Structure formats: C-alpha cells, structure tokens
Chain A
Amino acid sequence: MTDTARTGPDRTAIGVVGEAGTGIGGPGPGIGEAGPGIGEPGPGELPEHLAAVAAAPSVQRWMHRSGDDVAGARLADLEMLQRFCASLGTDPDELIAQCLRSTKSGDTAISAAGRRKTDQAISAFVAAEGASGRDAIVLGNKLRGFLIHNGIFMQGSAAID
C-alpha cells in the first residue's frame, strides 16, 4: 500500500484538496461535529446574517430531509453554506439552479457541466478554508449534502485514513 494510493491531503480527488490549515478545522466545533443546535432556542434566534440563507427554499429542503425544520438545523452547516455561497457571489437557490439545465423537451435535467463546476468550487472552497485530510472531506461532503438533498446527484470521497 503506498501513501499516494490512499486518500490523503495530496490527492486531487473531488473534494479532497488543501493542506493543513487552521480554518474550519481549528478550535471550536469541528466540521464533522455537531455544532450548537439552533433548534432549541427557536427560529427567532437565528443570527441575522443567516436569516436569508435559512429562508431559501433549497435550504428548507435540505434541512427538512431528516424531519427537522430550519430551526433544527445545525448552525455550523448554515454558516458554512452561507460562506460558500458568498465566496461564489451567489445564493443557495441560485447554486442549485446552476446545476440544472432545460432539455429540448422542456424538462429540467442535471447539468453535467454545472455539477462539475460546482464540485470544483466545493474543492476550491475547502482548500481556501484551510481544511485538510478528514476535515476537508467532511466539509466538502456537507456542502454536497445540500446539493444532494436538492436532487443534484453527486458523491464525494470517503474519509478512510
């Protein structure tokens, strides 16, 4: 077994980029850990800068996946999505729209190009956040989860090291 053959920070795999950094993986609730639930205090307690993101239909859809409402979402997830969207100058609903296209018959289909671009943007974001190793995979896959629960089929790498 060679090191290069294993999932590691040197890989160029989808969602596995970047070297060790302090960003997201630093002190405080790690990317993979449960952040402080915001369900308990109630929806009214959402930090103001997250209100717009939390209200987006695509985000509601994401949060409703496990029967939660947005209020039950983990603050950290919303924060991360908000930062990701901000880094692209877009919003959650628009992000989903960029992964879709209209077919000749007028149906909506997944855009392979849009999905690839978004996947690359996730990798770039993860790198910019300074996450590495398992943290990088978890962070990337959380963002992929948002897309997945809005119907954009995709997979990320698994953390096996």
Chain B
Amino acid sequence: MEFNRVVGTRRSIRFFKSWRPVEREKLQVMFEAANRASRSMNADYFRAIVVNRDDLDAETRDALRNPTTTADLDLAPTYIFWYIDMNYVEGAQDRLKALVDQHALSAAHGWSRAYVDDFLWPQVLEPISKDMSAVLFMGAVETGIAICNAINAAVDQGLGTCMHAFTANETVKSLLGVPDSWFPVWLQLVGYPAEEPEAGGQRPRNPISTLFFEGHTDHPFEEDPEVTERLKREGMLQTPGPFPYRAQEVKMLSRMYGLPE
C-alpha cells in the first residue's frame, strides 16, 4: 500500500477474526518498522513482548481484562506488550560517539567526540538519567513514536490493530520474565479485522487549521484545496464515518461474537 493510503486506512480495530493467527513474518515487519523509528540519543527506549492469545492460560487472560478491554482480548489472536526500558540512557555516550564516527552527526552541526564526552554526557544526559519524570516523559514519547511505526506496518500488511490500556502488569511481569526496569506502557492487540478495514469510515478529526499554525498562532495553517483533493485520491483522506451500514455491521459482528448490542 502507498504510504498515504496506509495512514488514511488505519483505524482502531476492535473486531478481529478470532480464528485467524497473525503470521510471524508480519510481526517481524512490524518490529523492524518500530526499530527504524527515530529516537533521541539513538537509544533503545522501548521493549516489547509478543504473545499468542492461545498460549496464555485462562487465568492470565482474565487478569488482563479491565472494563475497557475484555472482549478485545478474546478476539485478537496476538498481544504485544509495550514497555519503556527505564535504563535507556545507559550507553548514550558511546552511541552518540558512534554516530559521530559514522558522520551522521558531524562537525558541520557542531558535533564531536569531545563534546559528547566532556559536556553532553556529564552535564546533560547523565543528570537526565537520574530525573525520573524526565526519563518517563522521554520514554513515553519515544516509545509512542516506535509504536506508531508498528501500527502503520500492521495496516500496510492488511492487519488490524488497536492500542489498549495495559493493566495487570504484575501478572504479566512474572509470567513473561519482565525485568524491574521495564515500565508498562500500552498493550497492542493485533489480528485480521473481522470488520471492514475502514471500520465504518474515517474518524472525525478537526481540520489541520485548528491544530497547525504558520509563523504565529494568529495564523492557522490553511489547507490548499488542491492538496486536499490529491490526498483524497491517494487515500489519506477517506470517507468520514459512519458508513450508512455501519450500525448494521456492528450489530451483525456483535451477534456473531455474542457481544452486547
């Protein structure tokens, strides 16, 4: 799929084909995509554990349930538990110097091995590593960026996915051997959509002019109608929901799975 169409087709999918497993190779693509995400300090902020629903015993699956995530756990065949590794700053000094050696960071932009060793590490990065709120803040942002790549890679491969609140960390922790330094972030459910991939149409979003500004907050970024039309053709902007038959789609899926209507 073309990039613009991937972005435009992504939805939070909540009805999965419970019977259809996700191929391991598709997971690998998602993980490589996440691993290609930009990251400050070139650090490994995130960790993730992928688990097949059917490899979890009933007790563990029940422990994962919370009021907003119950049926989804039955329907999605694949769970990805995302964490921040709170030790991500470790090794930043060497990683940044490696980027200098690779000329990814160069003198053209002020970078040198000496800057990393003499100033950046002792005065900026090491103090950050001891400031828990900074570690959490950066970790959450950077893990989110990686997850976003994984989401889009899933959509590109015809998968559906939805992020969910990740509760029952203690249960998961002992079962999956999660180190103390990993902080739980989100649970990503993955599978093949049982609903149409468009899931009833694109979700309402405010126009970009309410979110983006040009030069000053007095000047909203006004869209160029020609670009808007192109994005419609290329699939980034799609028919807004709800499709006329969406209520019926949800009703029939709910009946299939015995869910509340």
Contact = CB atoms under 8 A, between A and B. Distances in A.
B259 interface: yes
A158 B58 contact: no
A51 B140 CA distance: 54
A153 B55 CA distance: 28
A156 B59 contact: no
Interface stretch (B36-44, B68-76, B83-91, B143-151): B68-76
A8 B261 CA distance: 21
Contacts of A14: 62, 65, 70
B70 A142 contact: no
B242 to A, nearest CB: 14
A158 B260 contact: no
Interface in A90-122: 115
A158 B53 CA distance: 13
Contacts of A138: 258
Contact of A153 (B53, B54, B67, B71): B67
Contact of B71 (A6, A11, A142, A157): A157
Contact of B18 (A141, A148, A160): A160
B3 interface: no
Given A4-B57, A5-B53, A5-B56, A158 B65 contact: no
Given A5-B55, A156-B70, A32 B258 contact: yes
B163 to A, nearest CB: 16
A151 B53 CA distance: 30
Residue among A134, A148, A158 with most chain B CB within 10 A: A158
B220 to A, nearest CB: 35
A160 B74 contact: yes
Given A134-B258, A144-B260, A157-B74, A11 B58 contact: yes
A4 B62 contact: no
B19 interface: yes
A2 B71 contact: no
A155 B58 contact: no
B67 A2 contact: no
A12 B58 contact: yes
A55 interface: no
Given A1-B54, A4-B57, A145 B260 contact: yes
Given A32-B255, A148-B260, A154 B58 contact: no
A152 B135 CA distance: 36
Contacts of A60: none
A43 B71 CA distance: 34
Nearest to A154: B67
Interface string B41-53: 0000000000001
Nearest to B254: A141
A4 B61 CA distance: 11
A45 interface: no
A158 B75 contact: yes
Contacts of A88: none
Contacts of A2: 54, 57
Contacts of B59: 12
B259 A141 contact: yes
The 10 closest A-B pairs by CB, nearest first: A155-B70, A145-B260, A159-B258, A158-B74, A160-B18, A1-B54, A158-B257, A138-B258, A158-B71, A137-B258
Interface of A: 1-2, 4-8, 10-14, 32, 66, 115, 134, 137-138, 141-142, 144-145, 148, 153-160
Interface of B: 18-19, 53-59, 61-62, 65, 67-72, 74-75, 255, 257-261
6 contacts: A5-B55, A13-B62, A154-B67, A157-B71, A158-B75, A160-B75
